[in-house]
Structure formats: C-alpha cells, structure tokens
Amino acid sequence: MFNDILKFVFFLFFVSLSPHPAQTMDDDSADPQTNPVKKIVVVGGGLAGLSAAYELRKQTLVNHIIDLYEGRDCLGGRVHTHYFNGNKQYYEEGATWIDQEHSHMRNFAKELGVPLISHGYGSKNTIVRWNGQEYPINELLDKFQDAHKELQAFCKPLNLDDQNSLALHSRSSLSPFTKALMTTCYQDETGKSIDNAPVSSLKFIAERLENFANLATLKNLNVPFKSYCLQAIDWWYSLYRYTVAGGASTLIEALHKKVKDAVWCNLNHKLTKITRKADRFHLSFETKESEKKEVIADYVIITLPFSTLRNVQIDDSIGLRENQKRAIRDLPYGTNAKVGIPLNRDLDDLILYLNLDNHHMAWSGGKNVLTLHMNSNEGKSLSPKNIPNSVHLLKQNFQKDDTGEIAQKNWFQDPYALGSYSTFKDDGNSIFNIPSTDYPGLQRFAEPIDNKLYFAGEHTDIAFSGFMEGALRSGQTVAQQLAKAVTRKVAQEH
Ligand SMILES: Cc1cc2nc3c(=O)[nH]c(=O)nc-3n(C[C@H](O)[C@H](O)[C@H](O)COP(=O)(O)OP(=O)(O)OC[C@H]3O[C@@H](n4cnc5c(N)ncnc54)[C@H](O)[C@@H]3O)c2cc1C
C-alpha cells in the first residue's frame, strides 16, 4: 500500500517534469490533483502511428500524455530506405512513390520541409527496357498504341464464353511486342500462364490499352481496377510521380523530430496482448530482452497491419465486433519483395525495366540503385540463397563491374509486416475479390470501439489502402477523432 502511494507521488512528480504535453501546457486546469493525467498509447511507429502522434501533439490536449510503442528497433515500418556506400546511394525497401493525386502526402512533405523529386513520364531521359530491348519512352508509347489496335481487333470476334483463348492466341498474328505486353500484364500478378487466361482478361487488357492509347486524357479517367494483374499497365498509367529526396526515411526522421518533445517513442516493444479492465486498456509488451512490460492506457490507437495484429491476443473484454474480428483474421496482404542493385554509374533520370523473366519490374527510384520489384512465390521466397535471375540480367545490363553488393528485403517474412501491403477494396475490385455482400459491414472494420480504441494504418483507409497516403490520412483522422472524444469527455466531467 505504502509502495503504491509512493509510486503515485513519484508518478505525479515525473508527470510534472516529463516532456509531455501535460507539462508543456500553461493552462491552469492542468492540475493533476483535480484532473488526473490520462494516457494515450499509440502502437506502431510507422507512418500511421507517427502521423497520429504528430496530429495529437498539434491538438495539445490538456492533461494527456502520449506514448508510442514500436516493436522494431527503428521507426518507419514499411517506409525504410537502405543506404549503400556511406549513404551515397540508396534504394527504398518499402514505399517509394507518391502519386500525383496523393495530396496529403505531398502537403505533408512540404509541412515537414522534406523536398520531393518529381518524375514525369515525358522526360526525354527516360529509357525503358522492354522485353530485352531499349526504347525511348515516346517510342514505347507509340508501340503501346499499335498494340492496342492489334489487341482490339483480336478481341472483337472473341466470345466471353470462349474457353480456348490459348488456341486463338497462339494461332493469331499478334506481333511479338503485343504478345509480350499481354504476357506481362497477365502473368505479373497472377503468376499464371497467359495461355490459360480467360477471354474476359484479354478483353480487359485491351480495354486498358485503350486508356493508354489516349495518355493525354488519362488523368481524368477513374477506371476501376477489375483485376490487379494489370499492374504493369497501371504502373505506366500513373507514371507521373514523386519520390522523397534523400530517401523516404528522411521523412520519417523529420516527423520524429516534430513529435519527440511531446511523445516518448519506445522502441523494441512488441505488443502481445491487450485486455480491458475498468474502462482502461492493459497492453502487454515483450521487450528485446524478452522482458514483459504492462502499460495501462485510457485511449489506444493501434496501427499494426492486421497480418501482425492477428498474432496479438485480443481479449473478449475489448469488445471487438464480428466484422472487426473477421477483418483482422482475413485481410489479405501482398507478397511484394525487393532487391536493390547499386550501380557504378549515374542515372540521370528514371529507367524502367519491364518484363524481366516475364515477372519483374525494375526502376531507378532511389539514388543510383536499380530496384527490382517482385511478387508471388518469388517475392515470398526471396532470400540470400534465392536471388532471382533477373538480378544477374540487370547487373549485366547496367553494372559494368560487378561490385557484388546487393540488398534485399522480403516483407512477407518480416515478423513486423508479414506481407507487403493490404490491397483491400470494398467494391470487390481488388485482386482478392472480396465482394462486400459476402462480408457484411467489412468496410466499417476500422470504426473505433467506444471512442477509446482506434484503428489506423494503410489498410484502414479504403480509398488509399496500400499507400503511404492511406497510412497518413488514417493517422491524422483517428487523432482528430480521438481529440474530439477527449474534449467531449473533459467537457462532460466539468
Ligand atoms: C515493397 C513495398 C512497396 C511499397 N511501395 C509503395 C509506394 O511506392 N508508394 C506508397 O505510397 N506506398 C507503398 N508501399 C506501402 C507503404 O509502405 C505503406 O502503405 C505504409 O508505409 C504503411 O504505413 P503504416 O503505418 O500503416 O504501417 P507500418 O509502416 O507497417 O507501421 C506499423 C508499425 O507497427 C509495428 N508493429 C508491427 N507489429 C507490431 C507489434 N506486435 N508490436 C509493436 N509494433 C508492431 C511495425 O514494426 C511498424 O513499424 C509499399 C510497401 C511495400 C512493402
């Protein structure tokens, strides 16, 4: 008993000294005797968690402290830059591109003072290696237009019920370029042979090529993703993009600088269990040294990908709804992995390298490093012992002397990610095709519980899931919701 009193006295003393908003406030109402300090815990130090913390800090909530807990030994999560050769070269292990329409990300970078580099498809320096040959970008776009005409003529007489697209395909007089394009589009994501592609998929590829053929108007089109297998085309479609100068991790560093005076970021704390007792949350963490630590919180923001949250013991006392339980259990995650190949020559601009081994895409998205992006089983099984042939091909083409140093990142096997990113769409138009009718209330899985437990992360922002934009928006949104709930509660208590 005496110990408890002593602890409480120490707690009040430390709270009054701590660099938390509770003490930075010069508001008289912040008297711990009358207004006991409340704790907000953010779990996950990726973009969603950090941006939630930043937004909460901006709200300067009286008598509330904010603590963040992160399982890894660094912040950033799936935003992580790998630096080579004394930081002179780098590539993005995770997120790379900020699309034109990712307005929150672009504004956020500006707010943090982090410069972005723009990459336009029209740049004259852009070279594309397509199917083993090098093309200037405009020449390739012309070829896409020709392919569109060819494919349209090919598809016109086909009946959607035709099962024999293989026979039709092999007997057709399609040019090798068009065949290669179709093969990449279909095979890239499905991992299946184009020979068995249903006619509907071929027609869809033809349809997307039509958008291509008219690149100038593309920006205004909002074509639903009927199938993710068209990633290659889609990638071209939104080629006007930005990257973070110096690497995306510099954005995380800048964000951390903004919050660290008010938010204590505890690294090496893995969430293992969460329960609710007397309206407060008890969170169990495992530290790097396998020690157990229990943290009690009044409000919690969980930003873990559901792929890892499903391994956390969530007690019934939390009161998860059925749709939330199901989403945590089932939400699918991609298999994307990356290899970074440092080059010993400067790349002035974007280089794209498509159709490597029919499955991979590569680009120069960092600083003098080629990035190989792969998925499906190759992505899942990437390891130092299992480097794909494409790497050797790229080295032959782009590296004069083999420096031997490459980096690789398998997100599927990363215990704090267990997948690359969620590709959930509630309209049934994702690769996973979950029709919302089969999944009642699924799109509302991220709604808070009792305005006390919140979910954020890329997966919770349906419009921008799978992107930094989604992670950022979700973090900002839940922080604003939580701040409102806190203000309401404080008003009720007075
Ligand atoms: C290969 C790849 C390519 C990508 N390309 C792009 C791109 O070009 N453009 C784009 O916009 N986006 C891209 N993304 C997606 C982007 O990286 C994510 O959408 C975004 O970073 C997710 O942020 P988040 O905060 O939601 O999740 P995370 O960054 O995963 O943050 C969650 C945090 O929780 C931590 N954590 C997990 N489990 C626990 C636990 N039990 N206890 C404590 N902490 C835990 C993790 O370590 C992590 O730091 C890519 C992702 C990958 C993997």
For residue 15, the domain's CATH number is 3.50.50.60
**pLDDT score recorded for residue 170:** 56
Q: Ligand 1 pocket: which of 55, 416, 418, 459 to mutate (most atoms <8 Å of CB)?
A: 416
Q: What is the pLDDT of residue 156?
A: 79
Written as six digits, the tokens of 121 are: 């498809």
Sign of CA dihedral 165, 167, 168, 174: positive
What's residue 222's pLDDT? 32
C-alpha separations of 453 from 90, 297, 318, 432, 491 in Å: 38, 10, 9, 28, 20
Distance CA 193, CA 452 (A): 49
Q: Is residue 415 part of a domain?
A: no
Q: Are 376 and 335 in contact (CB under 8 A)?
A: yes
Same domain, 60 and 174: no
pLDDT for residue 27 is more than 90: no
> Is 60 exceeded by the pLDDT of residue 189?
no
d(CA 302, CA 452): 11
Q: Which of 86-95, 199-208, 384-393 has the lowest mean pLDDT?
A: 199-208
For the chain, the domain total comes to 3
Query: Which of helix, strand or coil describes residue 295?
Result: strand
Nearest CA to ligand 1 atom 26: 457
Residue 34: pLDDT over 60 = no
How far is Cα 238 from Cα 368, in angstroms, rounded to an integer?
22
Expressed in angstroms and rounded, the spacing between residue 312 Cα and the centre of ligand 1 is 17
Instruction: Pick from 93, 259, 286, 304 the residue to mutate for probing ligand 1's pocket: most ligand atoms within 8 Å of its CB.
Output: 304
* Contact present, 309 and 409 (Cβ < 8 Å): no
Give CA 101 to chain center in angstroms: 16
Q: What is the pLDDT of residue 83?
A: 93
Residue 46 has pLDDT above 80, yes or no: yes
| 416 lies in some domain | no
pLDDT at 315 over 70: yes
Task: Let me know if residue 291 belongs to a domain.
Answer: yes
Q: Are residues 440 and 318 in the same domain?
A: yes
CA of 98 relative to ligand 1 center, distance in Å = 14
Q: Is 409 in the pocket of ligand 1 (CB under 6 A)?
A: no
The ligand 1 atom at the shortest distance from the C-alpha of residue 474 is 26
23-32, 178-187, 210-219, 295-304: lowest mean pLDDT where? 23-32
Least confident among 336-345, 377-386, 423-432 = 423-432
Long-range contacts of 447-453 (CB under 8 A, 24+ apart): 447/321, 448/478, 448/481, 448/482, 449/318, 449/319, 449/320, 449/321, 450/319, 451/481, 451/482, 451/485, 452/279, 452/281, 452/298, 452/299, 452/300, 452/485, 453/281, 453/299, 453/300, 453/302, 453/318
Mean predicted lDDT score pLDDT of the chain: 77
CA of 199 to the centre of ligand 1 (A): 36
Has residue 417 been placed in a domain?
A: no
Q: Given this model, what pLDDT does residue 172 score?
A: 64
Is residue 440 situated within a structural domain? yes
| Pairwise CA distance, residues 60 & 262, whole Å | 9
113-127, 279-293, 437-451, 476-490: which range is least confident on average? Answer: 113-127
Last residue of a domain, one of 239, 259, 286: 239
Pocket lining: 262 vs ligand 1, CB cutoff 6 Å: no
Give the model's confidence band at 163: pLDDT under 50 very low, under 70 low, under 90 confident, else very high.
Answer: low
Mean pLDDT of 176-183: 77
Residue 416 beta carbon below 6 angstroms from any ligand 1 atom: yes
Who has greater pLDDT, 380 or 122?
380
Kindly state if the Cβ of 97 falls inside 6 Å of ligand 1.
yes
pLDDT band at 1 (very low <50, low <70, confident <90, very high): very low
- CA dist 446 and 196 (Å) reads 38
What's the pLDDT at 23?
33
Cα separations in angstroms, 93 against 151, 254, 349, 351, 409 = 36, 19, 19, 18, 6
pLDDT band at 77 (very low <50, low <70, confident <90, very high): very high
Domain boundary, last residue among 191, 213, 239: 239
Last residue of a domain, one of 410, 443, 463: 410
- Has residue 198 got a pLDDT over 90? no
Q: Which of 81-95, 99-113, 413-427 has the highest mean pLDDT?
A: 99-113
Q: Tell whether 402 and 428 lie within a shared domain.
A: no
| Count of positions (residues) in the chain | 494
Q: Would 92 be classed as within a structural domain? A: yes
Does residue 112 fall inside a structural domain? Answer: yes
Q: Provide the 3-class DSSP secondary structure of residue 127.
A: strand
Two tokens, residue 330: 């089932």
Instruction: Say if ligand 1 is within 6 A of residue 43 CB.
Output: yes
**What domain range includes position 306?**
2-76+250-332+422-493
Please give the pLDDT value at position 220.
31
Region 162-171: mean pLDDT is 55
Q: Are residues 437 and 291 in the same domain?
A: yes
For ligand 1, is residue 366 a contact (CB within 6 Å)?
Answer: no
Q: Is the CB of 472 under 6 A from ligand 1?
A: no
Rounded Cα–Cα distance for residues 324 and 272 (Å): 18
Q: Is the CB of 309 under 6 A from ligand 1?
A: no
CA of 181 to the centre of ligand 1 (A): 31
pLDDT value for 402: 58
Domain co-membership, 328 together with 428: yes
- SS3 of 107, please? helix
453 CA distance to ligand 1 centroid (A)? 20
The band of 257, judged by pLDDT with boundaries at 50, 70 and 90, is: very high
Percent of the chain clearing pLDDT 70 (strictly above): 67
Do 398 and 352 sit in the same domain of this protein?
yes
Q: Residue 342 has what pLDDT?
A: 87
For ligand 1, the distance from its centroid to the CA atom of residue 79, given in whole angstroms, is 6
Q: What is the mean pLDDT of residues 96-125?
A: 84
Residues 291, 241: Cα–Cα separation, whole Å? 44
396 with 427, same domain: the answer is no
Residue with CA at minimum distance from ligand 1 atom 31: 46
Q: Do residue 347 and residue 256 come from a single domain?
A: no
Identify the band that residue 206 occupies on the pLDDT scale cut at 50, 70 and 90: confident
